[in-house]
């Protein structure tokens, strides 16, 4: 079982421009400007709406704003009513407010993405198409981005994809490669790969000399498994626009995704440098295990600073500190982190200093530094919470699991029910064979958030691995898979509980799928064990070998092989 990141959601390429958060809607100066245009009843409604909104009663506020708008000729009141209604999830009020807005100010372009989004959520296909086509006809180049967001932020993925297909058929998208790429990515995120591929083909025909389109082709080729063609497409993109820094960063990301982080780092090394680009280089060089490249980058930055000391700012200090860590020079790394001046980053720097102290065999000093953070009222709250997590992690590294539990518990006295502290303590309890306490923490996490797929999976896996309560375990794991059906860790858990229940055939199906989704040494341990126990011992050894190549020191894998005398 592994800690997994939060589940993916449909990516939004822009900030939420058309459904404002409550805090953004409460603009007190708006009352005076609108009061003059409102009737006496409208003024009462407007004032009521402002008070209701500030009190968090968004549905009531939306109704009051609508009443004020219907008694006024001020289109801004109708706009306000529409935005608050959408934020409050009140479609009937939103429809009436949008209609009033259209009546008072029919030329208002900013109304169209709201109309489209509401129509999509209500299943009104033609209304959505009409609003989006009207929006995309506008001269302002940013309007396609509003249309994109209106389609992305909807509950009806299938309808959004269908409407996008209508827009493509009607040739309604702007003649801009970035727009086609944005909508093509949306189509894929909505689950319509065929539409996304069709759009990519159209874009290639229309914009063959634009680098963005070639990077899109690289993405397609990689997904299809043709890495050679994908690499050629990246080279073509870079040849078309070699001086574009943003393009280089995108191309590097694509090369890294293709499995060539060294090439990604080389792309970023060309052209102008800044802290962001060098951070990318560091990440790719680290992934490529290129110690010589990391050392060269380290010396490059130090030489630049020696020539002009004014260039040494906090981003550079962090970058140099990270390089020092990766190059196993903890004393140097610590000195860079000690120089951080920005109060907003001092907490992060203090955490890294503690890591360096432990690397220098100064665990007591590391703990002292972390306890100073925990006792300080001036430290950022998240940094303090992270200090408990780090201290416990260092203690576990030194085989002091019970002390780690005590540290998590101290943190939970301050950060009550913090998910990360609870989750980490549960895993530590499990390592101490205190399964009942691990179960209690994991159940608390599920109680706090029934959609926490990681907690559901960890609970199910723990019950499957450490108890005989297989049916109960299976229930938790299936719930996790409903939330994240393609998460390798959760598919692995399903395979493991199937094996524990005696269904080796189905276990192999799921474990092979998990390893295909994400080659991982712990999945290799499970898959190899089921193969071994099924008599397929050469296959078991082969999968274990692949696991060792991924992580030669993985404890779960090594213990499995030793236990089976393999």
Task: Give, for all 566 residues of the chain, the pLDDT tens digit.
Answer: 433 333 332 232 223 323 333 333 334 444 444 444 444 455 656 676 676 667 778 788 778 877 887 878 888 888 888 888 888 888 888 889 888 888 888 888 889 999 999 899 899 999 999 999 999 988 666 789 999 999 998 888 999 999 999 999 999 999 999 999 999 999 999 999 999 999 999 999 999 999 999 999 999 999 888 999 999 999 999 999 988 999 999 999 999 999 999 999 999 999 899 999 999 999 999 999 999 999 999 999 999 999 999 999 999 999 999 999 999 999 999 999 999 999 889 999 999 999 999 999 999 999 999 999 999 887 888 999 999 999 999 999 999 999 999 999 999 999 999 999 999 999 999 999 999 999 999 999 999 999 999 999 999 999 999 999 999 999 999 999 999 999 999 999 999 999 999 999 999 999 999 999 999 999 999 999 999 999 999 999 999 999 999 899 899 999 999 999 86
Q: 496: closest CA among 535, 534, 461?
A: 461
Distance CA(5)–CA(266), nearest Å, equals 29
Query: Which structure tokens are listed for 358?
Result: 């432990």
What angle (nearest 5°) sits at the alpha carbon of residue 389, between those of residues 385 and 390? 115
Cβ 234 vs Cβ 217: under 8 Å:
no
Cβ 108 vs Cβ 101: under 8 Å:
yes
185-207: string of b/e by CB count within 10 Å (b at 16+)?
A: bbbbbbebeebbbbbbebbbeeb
Distance CA(206)–CA(202), nearest Å, equals 6
Q: Residue 501 — φ and ψ, nearest 5°? A: -85, 0
What is the value of pTM for the model shown? 0.73
Distance CA(401)–CA(218), nearest Å, equals 47
- DSSP symbols for 163-212: HHHHHHHTT-S-S-HHHHHHHHHHHHHTT-HHHHHHHHHHHHHH-TT-HH
Nearest 10 degrees: Cα torsion 441, 443, 447, 449: 80
Query: Which structure tokens are listed for 11?
Result: 């990516």
Q: 408: closest CA among 394, 422, 419, 429?
A: 422
């Amino acid at each position: 079982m592994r800690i997994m990141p939060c589940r993916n959601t449909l990516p939004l390429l822009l900030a939420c421009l058309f459904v404002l958060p409550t805090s953004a809607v409460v603009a007190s100066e708006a009352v005076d400007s609108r009061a003059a245009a409102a009737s006496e009843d409208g003024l009462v409604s407007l004032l009521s709406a402002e008070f209701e909104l500030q009190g968090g009663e968004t549905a009531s506020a939306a109704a009051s704003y609508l009443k004020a708008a219907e008694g006024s000729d001020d289109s801004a009141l109708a706009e306000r009513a529409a935005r608050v209604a959408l934020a409050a999830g009140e479609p009937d009020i939103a429809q009436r407010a949008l209609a009033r807005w259209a009546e008072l100010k029919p030329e208002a372009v900013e109304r169209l993405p709201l109309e489209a989004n509401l129509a999509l959520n209500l299943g009104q296909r033609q209304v959505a198409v009409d609003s989006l086509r009207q929006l995309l006809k506008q001269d302002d180049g940013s309007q396609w981005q509003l249309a994109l967001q209106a389609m992305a932020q909807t509950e009806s993925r299938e309808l959004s994809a269908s409407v996008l297909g209508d827009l493509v058929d009607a040739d309604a998208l702007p003649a801009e490669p970035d727009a086609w790429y944005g909508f093509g990515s949306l189509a894929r995120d909505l689950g319509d790969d065929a539409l996304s591929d069709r759009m990519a083909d159209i874009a290639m025909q229309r914009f063959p000399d634009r680098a963005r389109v070639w990077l899109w082709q690289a993405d397609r080729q990689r997904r299809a498994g043709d890495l050679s063609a994908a690499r050629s497409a990246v080279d073509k993109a870079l040849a078309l626009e070699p001086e574009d820094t943003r393009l280089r960063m995108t191309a590097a990301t694509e090369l890294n995704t293709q499995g060539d982080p060294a090439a990604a780092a080389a792309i970023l090394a060309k052209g102008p440098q800044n802290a962001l680009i060098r951070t990318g280089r560091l990440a790719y060089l680290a992934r490529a295990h290129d110690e010589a490249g990391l050392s060269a980058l380290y010396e490059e930055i130090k030489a630049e600073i020696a020539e002009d000391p004014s260039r040494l700012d906090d981003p550079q200090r962090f970058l140099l500190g990270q390089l020092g860590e990766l190059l196993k020079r903890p004393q140097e790394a610590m000195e860079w982190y000690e120089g951080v001046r920005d109060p907003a980053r001092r907490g992060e720097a203090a955490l890294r200093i503690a890591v360096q102290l432990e690397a220098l065999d100064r665990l007591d000093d590391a703990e002292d530094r972390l306890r100073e953070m925990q006792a300080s009222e001036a430290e950022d709250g998240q940094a303090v919470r992270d200090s408990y997590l780090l201290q416990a992690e260092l203690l576990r590294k030194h085989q002091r699991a019970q002390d780690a539990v005590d540290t998590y518990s101290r943190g939970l006295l301050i950060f009550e029910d913090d998910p990360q502290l609870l989750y980490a303590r549960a895993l530590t309890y499990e390592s101490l064979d205190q399964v009942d306490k691990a179960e209690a923490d994991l159940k608390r996490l599920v109680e706090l958030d029934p959609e926490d797929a990681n907690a559901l999976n960890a609970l199910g896996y723990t019950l499957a691995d450490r108890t005989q309560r297989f049916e109960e375990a299976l229930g938790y794991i299936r719930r996790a898979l409903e939330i994240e059906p393609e998460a390798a860790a959760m598919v692995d858990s399903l395979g493991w509980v199937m094996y524990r229940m005696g269904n080796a055939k189905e276990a192999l199906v799921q474990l092979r799928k998990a390893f295909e989704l994400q080659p991982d040494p712990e999945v290799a341990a499970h898959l190899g064990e089921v193969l071994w126990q099924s008599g397929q011992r050469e296959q078991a050894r082969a999968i274990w070998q692949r696991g060792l190549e991924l992580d030669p020191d993985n404890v779960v894998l090594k213990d499995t092989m030793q236990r089976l005398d393999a």
